[in-house]
Structure 1
Amino acid sequence: MCQKMIRGNVLLLLCLWHSTGVFGAQMDQINTLISVTEGDSVTLHTNITELKTDEDIEWTFGVHSPDEIIATIYKDKMTSSSVDETLKLKIDDQTGSLIIKNITTQHTGLYKVTITNAKLVNYIYRVIVYAGLSVPVISRVSSQCSSSSSSSCCCVLCSVMNVSHDVSVSWYKGKSLLSSISVSDLNIRLSLPLEVEYQDTNTYRCVVNNPITNLTQHLHITQLCHTSSGESHVSGVHSCGFTEAVIRLVVSALVGVVTVAFLVYDVRSR
């Protein structure tokens, strides 16, 4: 009987441990995920319409865990709200909500508000701030082209400067994705090449995007891939890379067959 009671108590304690963490201390859970772009304004709400005299507000912040106090309101102690000025924050004296204006990447992290009155209430916000995107630039290059490219091909490069984390650059032909490249580093140049024919009439576009926004630049083949004086390209005959090599081989073979046939005919006729 005693052993059963001991086992029951142990099981109860284990359940309390898993459900509450350390006995009586509730585990923190993220209530809201907010993704924004640099320069936006964000308000982290307390869900309070108007603070009462017995309510205290404490905001904490941290990249991995919200452990640094950044803003407080202590109504019962008759003290005014205090804010960590290094993060350029503002706290609403009426509701206790935290206001972040002109947000930057340094504001990325976890925000926790603790509301103390008759009971203890916690809300945790995870804020992710993405750097603003720049419009991609498309330029004509030659060093990025494959060695099998022919004179009928135009090689272009789509580039984006100073990209941040979770940014990708992609080439589209109409609605179809042709190629894509992404990066996780900060403040680097991201480039992606593409080969097209001079006479190609398809629609191509380069898209740079992060999880919350994207920017598009269209490729104008006739403007960017114009031929220099003295050059001529036959539409429908040449193509980029391997295809042209095959066509040339077939044409050469046909010319050889015709030449041999002509010589045989000439000899017989004589």
Structure 2
Amino acid sequence: MTDRETVCSSGVRGTGVKSVSVLVGDSVTLNTDVPDTQICDVIQWRFDHQNSPVAEINRIAGIFNTSDGADGRFRHRLQLDYRTGSLTIRNIGNRHSGLYEAGIPSTGIKHTIHKSFNVTVSDAEKSEIVTEGETVTLQTNVSEIQKDDQILWIFGEIVIAEIYKAAQFYIYDDSGLYELKISSSRHVILRRITVTVTGE
């Protein structure tokens, strides 16, 4: 491997396995933590110790692609960030649960940094029907908010609630599609819940 092939941000660190819980139909982004200002020439994503990578960047060889997986489970679902190598899994399903690992060669060091994520996918109802005047609670399914988490509730294109170090709350009581975005240095999760308000 040439010196150029090992170019990567020295700020990327390998840590323990991160646990990510998502619901069927969610989109989740697994972050490599490579800054936008840095470029890694080689990044490989593997799923559950499969021999072939499910996503790969090799700028020297001109490779930038995602794979459907040996059984086609990832067909039309994977998106790779060209600069950072972060991997997004769209419309996730139960068979996408498992261990995802990014291999990133480290600058000036004869080893590869590994970023690992244990993704658990569970079923959940994605719609709520309430009578006008009733109260409805839309669950985030997050057990604990970390200090670097940002949580946004979005209705249409309007941010109606936000938690980021300090919390601000807004009330919006229309029928429609509510979107939840949970962002952190570890991952980004997008969820959708349809709320239908009926007459009394």
Give me the TM-score of the superposition, normalised by structure 1.
0.35
Give me the TM-score of the superposition, normalised by structure 2.
0.47
Greater Rg over alpha carbons, structure: 1
Higher strand share: 2
Higher RCO structure (Cα 8 Å, ≥6 apart): 2
Higher helix share: 1
